[in-house]
């Protein structure tokens, strides 16, 4: 039988609440968002603490971009409430917007403006604009201040969007696939700047990406968006410690995947039954394998493996 016929998924148990006296940077309650007849976000609840990188993972079409735009007031919501820095987000504006940086998937604004003119224009709206950082990044990332935005390649536009987002020294940085158009060298340079930003106390990053290696480098907390809601938010180290890939193998194969305590997803591939298990008990798995005349192998999955299994 094929894996698609036998795959099953069990919701991941809720992680303990963050133990912090600080208020969440972001608090979402019952968020609803639909496009025509398709409901994208369904009674979504989410709390984001200060001082962490949050990696937002989900399959294409899961609603990651929609969620990020709703969080910033760039897309109207159909129901629920969003609090940003302790205040209801009704529309983008006000003093708190000085504390937010945003990198969209694509940057197509102001094609007639030159880079320097655009950045100078933008700087006037922010109280903590770091002109020295801007000049350094323009030089390091080989962006010509005299070049028009409309003449830039997609990768250059993405670099400019990143410069514009981090120059105001934001307390919350929201990134929607920020490195999708960057080459590996530019992506590494961006991650270096991101990690430098995170060394300052209280800085928070929400980072939507399919490049799981970047999230691993940032030691991010992982938030999984699936079926219109945030299924869980957990530190990457905790996911690595608690989730294991368990493979049972026996010559006569499996009609059904074994029932194992803590199994989150199971599927059968010929002689192998493959399970993603939370907090597996090695002795119990070995005893089960002996009873079933099978061998058992336990391994720690990569973040990419976890994304494929859980998303």
Dump pLDDT digits (tens) for 262-292: 888 888 988 999 999 999 999 999 999 999 9
Dihedral (CA of 276, 280, 286, 292) sign: negative
Looking at the structure, do residues 247 and 233 belong to the same domain, yes or no? no
Instruction: Tell me, yes or no, whether 259 and 178 share the same domain.
Output: no
**What are the pLDDT digits (tens) for 197-232?**
777 888 999 999 888 888 888 888 999 999 999 998
For the stretch 65-100, pLDDT in tens is 999 999 998 899 999 999 999 888 876 666 777 889
- Tell whether 17 is covered by a domain: no
| Residue 15 within a domain | no
Last residue of a domain, one of 179, 205, 239: 239
60 and 151 co-located in one domain: yes
* Distance, CA of 215 to CA of 175 (rounded, Å): 12
User: Residues near 132 by Cβ (< 8 Å), separated by ≥ 6?
Assistant: none
Q: Are residues 132 and 155 in the same domain?
A: yes
For 146, the token pair is 């005299």
Rg (CA), the chain: 22
Residue ranges of E strands in the chain: 8-9, 26-35, 38-48, 53-57, 79-84, 87-88, 100-103, 172-176, 204-208, 221-226, 229-235, 243-249, 263-269, 272-278, 295-299
In the listed set 192, 219, 239, which residue is the last one of a domain according to the structure?
Answer: 239
Rounded to two decimals, what is the model's pTM?
0.84
Does residue 247 share a domain with residue 170?
A: no
Residue 137 scores a pLDDT above 70 = yes
């800085």: which residue's tokens? 203
Show the tokens assigned to 262. 């803590």
Q: What is the mean pLDDT of residues 110-115?
A: 94
Predicted pLDDT at 30: 96
Residue range of the domain that includes 58: 26-239
* Residues 157 and 217 placed together within one structural domain of the fold: yes
**CA distance linking residue 6 with residue 8, whole number of Å:** 6
The reply to whether 131 falls in a domain is yes
The runs of H, that is alpha helices, within 124-183 are: 131-140, 154-166
Number of domains comprising the chain: 2
Whether 259 and 220 map to the same domain: the answer is no
* Whether residues 229 and 251 fall in one domain: no
Q: Tell whether 155 and 280 lie within a shared domain.
A: no
211 shares a domain with 94:
yes
Domain boundary, last residue among 182, 208, 239:
239
Q: For residue 116, which of 83, 80, 149 has the smallest C-alpha distance?
A: 149
Residue 154: pLDDT band with limits 50, 70, 90: confident
Domain shared by 226 and 281, yes or no: no
């Amino acid at each position: 039988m094929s894996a698609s016929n036998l795959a099953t998924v069990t919701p991941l148990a809720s992680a303990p609440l963050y133990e912090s006296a600080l208020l969440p940077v972001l608090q979402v309650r019952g968020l609803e968002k639909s496009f025509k007849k398709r409901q994208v976000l369904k009674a979504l609840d989410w709390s984001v603490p200060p001082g962490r990188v949050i990696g937002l993972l989900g399959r294409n079409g899961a609603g990651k971009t929609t969620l990020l735009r709703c969080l910033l007031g760039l897309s109207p919501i159909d129901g629920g409430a969003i609090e940003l820095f302790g205040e209801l987000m009704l529309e983008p504006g006000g003093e708190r917007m000085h504390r937010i940086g945003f990198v969209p998937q694509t940057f197509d604004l102001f094609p007639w403006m030159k880079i320097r003119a655009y950045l100078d224009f933008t700087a006037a709206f922010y109280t903590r604009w770091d002109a020295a950082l801007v000049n350094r990044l323009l030089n390091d990332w080989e962006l010509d201040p005299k070049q028009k935005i409309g003449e830039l390649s997609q990768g250059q536009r993405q670099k400019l969007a990143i410069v514009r987002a981090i120059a105001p020294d934001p307390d919350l940085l929201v990134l929607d696939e920020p490195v999708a158009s960057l080459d590996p060298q530019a992506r590494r340079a961006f991650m270096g700047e991101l990690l430098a930003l995170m060394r300052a106390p209280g800085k928070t990053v929400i980072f939507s990406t399919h490049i799981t290696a970047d999230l691993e480098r940032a030691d991010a907390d992982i938030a999984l968006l699936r079926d219109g809601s945030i299924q869980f938010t957990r530190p990457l180290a905790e996911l690595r410690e608690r989730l294991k890939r368990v493979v049972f193998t026996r010559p006569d194969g499996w009609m059904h995947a074994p029932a194992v305590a803590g199994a989150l997803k199971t599927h059968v591939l010929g002689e192998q039954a493959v399970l993603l298990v939370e907090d597996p008990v090695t002795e119990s798995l070995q005893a089960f394998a002996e009873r079933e005349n099978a061998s058992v192998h336990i391994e720690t999955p990569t973040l990419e493996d976890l994304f494929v299994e859980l998303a």
